[in-house]
Structure 1
Amino acid sequence: MSVFQDFVLLILSSPSTLLGTVAFLLILWFSYSSFFSQKTEREPPGPRPFPLLGNLLQIDLKRPYKTLCELSKKYGPVFTVYFGPSKVVVLAGYETVREALVNRAEEFGDREISPIFYDMNQGHGILFSNGDSWKEMRRFALTTLRDFGMGKRLAEEKILEECHYLIKMFEEHKGKPFKTPSLLNWATFNIISSIMYGSRFEYSDPRFVTMVGRASQSIRIAGSASVQLYNMFPRLLGWIKNRKQLVKNAENAFVDNMVIIKKLKETLNPSICRGFIDCFLIRKQREEESDIKETHFNDKNLVFSVTNLFGAGADTTSTTLQWILLLMAKYPHVQDKVQEELSSVVGSREVRVEDRKNLPYTDAVIHETQRLANVVPMSVPHKTSQDVTFRGYFIKKDTTVFPLLTSVLSDENEWESPHTFNPSHFLDEEGKFKKTDAFMAFSAGRRACLGEGLAKMELFLFFSTLLQRFRFTPPPGIQEDELQLTAAVGFTLGPLPHELCAISRQ
């Protein structure tokens, strides 16, 4: 009953208690009517909801993906659950999620924009938008990222340069225990910075440190229980602390980016694109000169596209690197095999992207980390663009849909040992790398991660380069089996706070 008690306390501590109570009663009445009204279509099954609260008492709001996986065992791969008064259809298992996101991409391809993400993005940008604006921004972002070398030699050079800066920071600890998240965040955020702004930042730059810290904090608290309660009852709970912090962070990010954009405008050369922002400004200028009235190339779309890419384009990569170094320290025999393969194939020279095809075990370890780490367990919520009948069930237009990626990455029908760290999932009998369709770490369909190619390159180059130079171990006095693989709470799932030692191999 702890969630219910917390909710009551939130209501009672509202600055407008009387109005909050009246609103509570009104919503209760309307919710009761809607929950138990007569239905004529066969809808997905699910646990019976309470008025207003829905299935809130059954859901662990800190780790809702775990509750939903358990519910899928009882109600099947397509089921309904109520987050407060909000109806959600959950899709579980590889076959179901693939059918919806890939085969029925149009019907399941809209984005559900929760109240907190509307507060932060106002329907602009790439990640939390729909319609023509989203199509235009995504198309432009994909084209621009390709032009700047996503998956090509130009991006490779940027990543390898950043590897050198990261190695120096690791070396400064001289084999003593330290926390990896900040350094890995700075490195991965610098890759997207060089693509967005046309240049990297020094790790000592206070503005950069603030921007990275703010983005990481926002991603973490966006997955908190209090923010999820706000999403369910936005008119009642707009005053909660985490919601205010997220809005403040979004406003500060907007201001910081406008300052950077202003400086880039002052030195803009229409014949040379230094980065994403330059390309956007040049396109915006051309459309203004052509007197295009309904252009989507405006300042808000620019800033929110940059902040979307700055956060989403770096956080998941950094988080995956945190997991993989932790796993190497926990499973030293796996680390041994990676380093043996690197020594045999690459030696002491610099690792290049083209080496990946000759490093199957290293590649398998990276993929298995992504699978087991399950960094974005519920994907970013989708929404149906029209009424749809799916697997015999009727799902109404504008229904929120959770493609439960964690159920895909741990599907017992697809993986030999879904709940253990097993690189063999991605190796054939001859030890060659084996692609697996059920690997959906980047989601799938029209809303799949647009930076997938860049992320894969970063993971390979950062991991391989670090393993060439260092051996990762637990701090003195801690055994490998004492290292915890429990995920922290957040919109994305990182490891709990921990320290590692990076012992130089040279």
Structure 2
Amino acid sequence: MILVLILTTLLSILIIRHYQKVRKLPPGPITLPLIGNIPQIVYYSWKNNGIVPAFEYFRKKYGNVFTLWLGPFPHVSIADFETNHEVFVKNGNRYKDRFLSPIFEELQEDHGLVFANGEKWAELRKFTMVTFRNMGVGNEIMEEKIMEELNARCTDLDNDAVNGRTIVEHGKLFELMVGSVINSLLVGKRFGEDNKEEFLHIRHLIETSNEVFTTFDMIMPVWVLKTFFPARFGTAANALNTIKDYLGKEAEERFENLISGKYVLDENSPKDYVDAFLVKMQKEKDHPAYTMKSLKFVLSDLWSAGHDTTATTLISGFNQFMHHPEVARKCREELLRLTDGGSRPLSLKDRAESRYLNATIAEIQRHASILNVNFWKTSDAPTKINEYELDAGEILTAQMSALHVNEDIFKDAGEFRPERFLEDEKLIHQLIPFGIGKRSCVGENLARAELFLVFGNLLLRYDIQPHGKLPSTADQLPFSAVKIADTSAKLEFIKI
């Protein structure tokens, strides 16, 4: 009897505190202690065929700022640009830290750039941004590397042509192209015929991981995953460790050769990111951010993030072109005018004049919107969002996927219509495919350069048609945390 009374009292206290917390937060669906809104999230994701349509349902019902409880933890999602800018830009110093999912805490060990916090993360982010800038990311130096890779792939396409047509699995083409650019930037090696299989193996592991990596995996305690879902946990861990070990092997070998005198660093002109990091390791021998273990995790983060977002956006973009050939035609007409009839390649210097191509890339990014569920952040002090006073430590995010389908911002959001960005130029500033604030993507300039040069120059050089069935423009894993583009169809590249 006493035990029942104690349990009843504890349960009552839990329920009272739970609903006291609910009243302080932005609105959301009715939540239950311990399990939160998981039943509603599952139901509306199933009913609307995806997590993003479920977010849009909650946004329409509760407003641009709404709360979802993932188990016992409330998560505030912000689905409009103005509020996101107020929170993460104007007050960005309060939101530097990410709320790390248990599985990421376990696998990343507070290393790297994506799933880490604190002074070590801040130091590595600053170092990476400076290093990228010094290596020419976003300017003519990086343009040369991107064009070198693009030209190599175009040569392969032309060599494989039959009667002027090359039938291509475009997913593999763009994944290899982007992977080669990021690999060259990080470890100084592009992917060719001799090491292409290594790249394809890594890609297979990432794709397998994406298939099992859902919101469920992000919120579950690690002991639950290891005990009841060991295969899911093992798949995610294997993918991360394989990438980390592959990239880390190159760094470790170079470091050993440096110690033995077989390799000499040029401190004034490092040839790639690894060289720059090793220079820093020598200068900052006691700094916890500059260790070989740290380098491995940073390389893994940069490689995965730098590859997946750009490759998926390229694949998604050409899938859209197959459904909207008039958009590709308008882009080509603009590009031909800019390049004197295609007598020269499109350059980054042409960006200011490429208004329709820029609008098209923006619309592609809006539809591609890679993260179905954006990374969560925590505030380090009490803060106010609209009229809601939030305590320190609250979990919130710029829910990009919900923002990019927000009908109040993007009218007829389900349509693919680049003209919207020409009719209302402020819309392009409300597009945040690389995130917003202190945790935005460090490789944004590289990705923007790749998208512009690859889309533009391929449209200049080739008439691209579907081969057989049209590719789907729908998310292939709508319940996953990451959006996946359709790579099952083939395209024909016809040289112009």
CA contact (8 A) 1:83 1:232 kept: no
Consecutive unaligned residues of structure 1, counting only runs of 5 or more, are: 1-26
CA-CA distance at 1:390 after TM superposition: 1.9
Following TM superposition, by how much is the alpha carbon of 1:363 offset from its aligned partner in structure 2, in angstroms? 1.6
Encode CA deviations 1:283-339: one digit per residue, 9 max, x unaligned.
111122xxx4x4321122211111000000111000000011111111111111112
Which residue number corresponds to residue 265 of structure 2?
269
Equivalent pair of 1:472/1:502 in contact (CA under 8 Å): yes
Distance in 2, Cα, partners of 1:323 & 1:29: 54
CA contact (8 A) 1:65 1:404 kept: no
Match of 1:447 in 2: 439
**Residues 138-217 of structure 1: pairs in structure 2 closer than 5 A:** 138-171=125-158, 172=160, 174=162, 175=165, 177-205=167-195, 206-217=197-208
| Aligned match for 2:390, one of 392, 395, 402 | 395
Match of residue 311 from structure 1 = 304
Instruction: Tell me if the contact between 2:137 and 2:446 (Cα under 8 Å) persists in the aligned partners.
Output: yes
Letter in 2 for 1:312: A
- The correspondence for 2:67, drawn from 73, 80, 89, is 80
Quickly say closer, same or farther: Cα 1:505–1:383, change in 2 above 3 A: same
The 1-side partners of 2:104 and 2:270 are apart by 30
What RMSD, in angstroms, separates the aligned Cα atoms of the two structures?
2.6
Q: Equivalent residue for 1:405?
A: 400
Read off the aligned partner of 1:280 and give its amino acid letter.
Answer: F
Partner Cα distance (1:29, 1:276) in 2 = 58
Q: Is the 8 A contact 1:44 1:79 kept in 2?
A: yes
Question: How far did residue 453 of structure 1 move?
Answer: 1.0
Counterpart check, 1:51 vs 2:33? yes
Q: Which moved more, 1:27-36 or 1:145-154?
A: 27-36
Q: In 2, distance between residues paired with 1:200 and 1:99?
A: 41
Distance 1:88 1:34, change over 3 A: farther
In structure 2, what residue type is equivalent to 1:498?
S
How far apart are the structure 1 equivalents of 2:186 and 2:139? 16
Q: Judge conservation of contact 1:366–1:459 (CA < 8 Å) in 2.
A: yes
Aligned counterparts of 2:176 and 2:8: Cα–Cα separation in 1 = 46
| Structure 2 counterpart of 1:6 | none
CA distance in 2, matches of 1:134, 1:197: 21
**Structure 1 residue 270 displacement after superposition:** 4.2
Amino acid at match of 1:273: P
- What is the TM-score when the length of structure 2 is the normalising length? 0.87
Instruction: Determine if contact 2:465/2:492 at 8 Å carries over to the other structure.
Output: yes
Residue 448 of structure 2 corresponds to residue 466 of structure 1: no
Distance 1:47 1:29 in 2: 26
Q: What is aligned with 1:258? A: 248
Report the counterpart of residue 4 of structure 1 in structure 2.
none
> Shift in Å at residue 458 of structure 1?
0.1
Aligned pair in 2 of structure 1 residues 35, 297: CA closer, same or farther (>3 Å)?
A: farther
> Unpaired runs of 5+ in structure 2?
1-6, 258-262
- Structure with the larger helix share: 2
Q: Distance in 2 between matches of 1:493 and 1:29?
A: 44
CA displacement, residues 16-43 of structure 1 (integer Å, 9 cap, x when unaligned): xxxxxxxxxxx99988854542627722
CA separation in 2, counterparts of 1:33 and 1:192?
53
Whether the aligned pair in 1 keeps the contact of 2:75 and 2:394 (CA below 8 Å) is yes
The one-letter code of the counterpart of 2:436 is A
Q: Give the match's secondary structure for 1:81.
A: strand
**1:475-501 deviation digits (Å, cap 9, x = unpaired):** 23x4xxx64321022433122343132
1:427 corresponding residue in structure 2: 422
- Which residue of 279, 287, 300 corresponds with 2:293? 300
Give per-residue Cα distances to partners, 1:381-436, cap 9 Å, x unaligned.
Answer: 2222223232221323222213211232233333343221111122259xxx7773
**CA deviation profile, 1:336-368 (whole Å, cap 9, x unmatched):** 111222222211322211122222111211111
Counterparts in 2 of 1:178 and 1:200: CA distance versus 1, 3 Å: closer
Residue in 2 that maps onto 1:488 = 476
Number of the residue aligned with 2:233: 243
2: CA distance between counterparts of 1:191 and 1:485?
A: 25
Query: Is the contact made by 1:322 and 1:494 (CA closer than 8 Å) also made in structure 2?
Result: no
Contact persistence 1:84–1:233 (CA under 8 A):
no
Pairing 1:100–2:87 present: yes
> How many residues are aligned here?
466
Structure 1 residues 208-217 or 308-317, which shifts more? 208-217
Are 1:503 and 2:493 an aligned pair? yes
Conservation of the 8 A alpha-carbon contact between 2:331 and 2:356: yes
In the other structure, the counterpart of 2:323 is 330
Q: CA deviation at 1:208?
A: 3.0
C-alpha distance 416-252 of structure 1, shift in aligned 2 (>3 A) = closer
Matching of residue 278 in structure 1 with residue 268 in structure 2 = no
Is the contact between residue 195 and residue 275 of structure 1 (CA under 8 Å) also seen in structure 2?
yes
**Residue by residue, what CA displacement relative to the aligned partner does 1:254-305 show, whole Å, maximum 9, x if unpaired?**
32223211222212414341111111111111122xxx4x432112221111
Change (3 A) 1:223 1:245: closer
Partner of 2:334: 341
Runs in 1 of length 4+ with deviation above 6 angstroms? 27-32
* Matched residue type, 1:248: N
Q: Say which is worse superposed, 443-452 or 60-69, in terms of deviation.
A: 60-69
The alpha carbon displacement at 1:177 in A equals: 4.8
- Residue identity in the other structure for 1:287: E
SS in 2 for 1:296: coil
